[in-house]
Structure 1
Amino acid sequence: MHIQCTICSDLVNQAESLYVTKCGHIFHHQCLAQWIERSKSCPQCRNKVTERCMFRVFPTVSEGSREDAATLQARLDHAALQLRTHQAQLKDLHEQLAQATANSTHKDALVAAAEKRLVAQECALAALRQKLAHAADRTRDTERLQRDNEQLHRTLHTLNGLQRVLQATAGEVEDTLRDYSDPRTVATFAAALKR
């Protein structure tokens, strides 16, 4: 059994001058005397203590060095086992950390590749939008040209009809005018005939 002086935190042995308080706590005589000069209470339980409440003790301790050595060796072996267990756990944790770091690096590379593909697709999409806008412009131009072409075709048809009217006889003029239902075309023909 090991007894500790709670004032100086050292172990006491039977060769030292040991004192006990009336509350039953054991201290080195020098430690307790200095304590009592500052405070009139037990350093351990704070009960009131004076010099008259302190008694010297003479403990008889049996030599149990073999048992103590065996106990200490068992504690040492147990501590070594715990240390090996903790080291194995630490090694496993390091391996898990390395695996997680490798996975994270791989996923970062996948994300970077996906971002590059996304940028390329956005560029391609922007180019397609430009082409679509250009195609829409061309479609509008084509539709305008078709309208102009139809207008020119109608004008040409009217001019051809006018030429026939100017060169035709009265009966042929009547037959030609029956083919035209547009009042403006008929008025154009009438004006040309007046002249």
Structure 2
Amino acid sequence: MPIRAHCTICSDFFDNERDVAAIHCGHTFHHLCLIQWFDTAPSRTCPQCRIQVGKRHIINKLFFDVALEEQSGLDAESLQNELDRVKAQLSLKEKEKRDCQSIVDSLREALDVRNATIESLQKAISDMEMLCSTLKKQMKYLEQQQEDTKNVKEESRKLRNKLKAMERIELLLQGQRPEVEEMIRDMGAGQAAVEQLAVYCISLKKEYENLKESRKTSNEKIEKLKKELFSANHKIQKIVLELEKTNEELRSTQTDLRSADKEITSLKKKIEILQDTLKVPSVTSEALSRLLSESPAPMELLSPKLHRPAHSDDIDLNSTFDVETPKHQPHKTAPAPAKKLKLDKKSASVTNLSKVLKDAVENCSADAEGEHLEDLLPAFIRNSVLSKRPRGSSSLMPQRNIGIVRMGYDGLGGRTKFIQPSIAAEIRPMPVKSKKKNVSKLTVATASASGISQAKLDYFLK
């Protein structure tokens, strides 16, 4: 069982494990604690009363006779000593921890400083490396420039020597004899001078050959240019003659054009006179007006503009169509103004036809219209207009059916109806069985008659 006393140095209770020492003042301490106190204290005094003592005054070991008691597992003093010891160790460890933490903080600060220093050094190193690479490139460039400068100097030296040689050769070629002799004297004597003279002789020979070749080429070019000049002059003369001929043709064409303009003006006036004449309300003038406005132009003057048939790709220009004429109903005819002519100014055939009709109307009288028109008009107009009429008939009397209405091409790309005249005395009754055959024969006869009439009209228009 520990003694209920404690050491004032370490504050632990005395026990049987450590020795207890005392000094002459009577205070007791642990022997180890007292020795450490004397070693560490600035002066050797008693830790309790502060009197001067020395190591020789220490009683190293005290013995206590303590009655034996029943040993228990744990007592308060030992537990307190253990607790104090653990607390002391804990405080020591905490102090060590604080010291280590301060050391760690200082080391971290030093590490941060070192890292910043390393980064700055790395940046400086990268800058230095870039500077070194730039300087290396610049050094290479300067070395290249130096090499180029050396080459240029060498080339300039060669060119200078070559220029001097060329100047001497030029002096040989273009200079006078005294200048050449002076140059040869300046060259001196020796093997080098002889070689230089040999080079000059070879150069002179080559220049002479080149001059001969260039002279030959120039002569060939001159001959070629002379031939080209002669050919060009011949072409120019030919073109001038053609131009004069063209000018003459142009003048004649202009004269013809003026004559044609005058003729057109005259024909326009005649057409106006014919239109005024055709305004007379008579059967003949009305028939002539209708014929002029409805009759097709000659095929030689107008190009056909045919539409493609709806049911076939073949176009039959000779096909005709029979149309039955309805029976004529007697009625009173009233005089009506004649239709105005619709003439195309560009159609020469209609103009000539109008001229003929105008002359026919002016020269004929009311009693002898048929006779004069039979002499002047073509066959197809005479058959369609001046068919035979019964004697004693007048324009106010009902007319008989004197023709057959047929369908055919109008010569302008379309279809039209026209009247095929027939004489009443010549019409014969046709049998019913042979109707188709007779109709086909009549169609062929009509086509041939229209072709003959068309030819006569073309001859008449000429």
Output the TM-score relative to the length of structure 1: 0.56
Aligned pair partner of 1:177 in 168, 179, 187: 187
C-alpha contact 1:177 1:186 (8 A) present in aligned 2: no
Alignment of 1:45-60 (within 5 A): none
- Aligned equivalents of 1:63 and 1:117: distance in 2? 80
1:178, distance to aligned residue in structure 2 (A): 0.9
Aligned to 1:18: none
Question: Could you tell me which amino acid in structure 1 is paired with residue 199 of structure 2?
Answer: T
Aligned to 2:88: 81
Aligned pair partner of 2:131 in 124, 131, 144: 124
- Aligned equivalents of 1:191 and 1:83: distance in 2? 115
Judged with a 3 Å threshold, the aligned counterparts in structure 2 of structure 1 residues 193 and 104 are, in CA distance, closer, same or farther, namely closer
- Aligned equivalents of 2:123 and 2:159: distance in 1? 53
Aligned to 2:177: 168
- Aligned equivalents of 2:87 and 2:204: distance in 1? 128
1:115, distance to aligned residue in structure 2 (A): 0.8
- Aligned equivalents of 1:64 and 1:192: distance in 2? 139
Aligned to 1:148: 155
1:185, distance to aligned residue in structure 2 (A): 2.2
1:190, distance to aligned residue in structure 2 (A): 3.4
Matched, 1:92 2:99: yes
Matched, 1:108 2:119: no
Aligned to 1:40: none
1:177, distance to aligned residue in structure 2 (A): 3.2
Question: Could you tell me which amino acid in structure 1 is paired with residue 116 of structure 2?
Answer: A
- Structure whose residues are more often helix by fraction: 1
Q: Identity of paired residues, percent?
A: 19
Aligned to 2:413: none
Judged with a 3 Å threshold, the aligned counterparts in structure 2 of structure 1 residues 122 and 131 are, in CA distance, closer, same or farther, namely same
- Aligned equivalents of 2:203 and 2:79: distance in 1? 135
Query: C-alpha offsets along residues 75-128 of structure 1, whole Å, 9 cap, x if unaligned?
Result: 222222222111111111111111111111111111111111111111111111
Question: Could you tell me which amino acid in structure 2 is paired with residue 75 of structure 1?
Answer: E
C-alpha contact 1:162 1:189 (8 A) present in aligned 2: yes
Alignment of 1:25-44 (within 5 A): none
- Aligned equivalents of 2:75 and 2:157: distance in 1? 119
Query: C-alpha offsets along residues 39-76 of structure 1, whole Å, 9 cap, x if unaligned?
Result: xxxxxxxxxxxxxxxxxxxxxx94689x9322322222
Report the structure number with the largest CA radius of gyration.
2
**Structure 2 regions of 5+ residues with no counterpart?**
2-67, 209-462
Aligned to 2:322: none
Bigger mean CA offset, 94-103 vs 168-177: 168-177
1:192, distance to aligned residue in structure 2 (A): 6.0
Query: C-alpha offsets along residues 7-59 of structure 1, whole Å, 9 cap, x if unaligned?
Result: xxxxxxxxxxxxxxxxxxxxxxxxxxxxxxxxxxxxxxxxxxxxxxxxxxxxx
- Aligned equivalents of 1:193 and 1:144: distance in 2? 31
Question: How many residues in Structure 1 have an aligned counterpart in Structure 2?
Answer: 135
Output the TM-score relative to the length of structure 2: 0.26
**Structure 1 regions of 5+ residues with no counterpart?**
2-60
SS in 1 for 2:161: helix
Matched, 1:68 2:68: no
Aligned to 2:165: 158
Judged with a 3 Å threshold, the aligned counterparts in structure 2 of structure 1 residues 63 and 179 are, in CA distance, closer, same or farther, namely same
1:144, distance to aligned residue in structure 2 (A): 1.9
C-alpha contact 2:187 2:193 (8 A) present in aligned 1: no
- Aligned equivalents of 2:193 and 2:131: distance in 1? 52
Question: Could you tell me which amino acid in structure 1 is paired with residue 176 of structure 2?
Answer: Q
- Aligned equivalents of 1:129 and 1:182: distance in 2? 49
Judged with a 3 Å threshold, the aligned counterparts in structure 2 of structure 1 residues 112 and 62 are, in CA distance, closer, same or farther, namely same
Question: Could you tell me which amino acid in structure 1 is paired with residue 201 of structure 2?
Answer: A
- Aligned equivalents of 1:173 and 1:71: distance in 2? 133
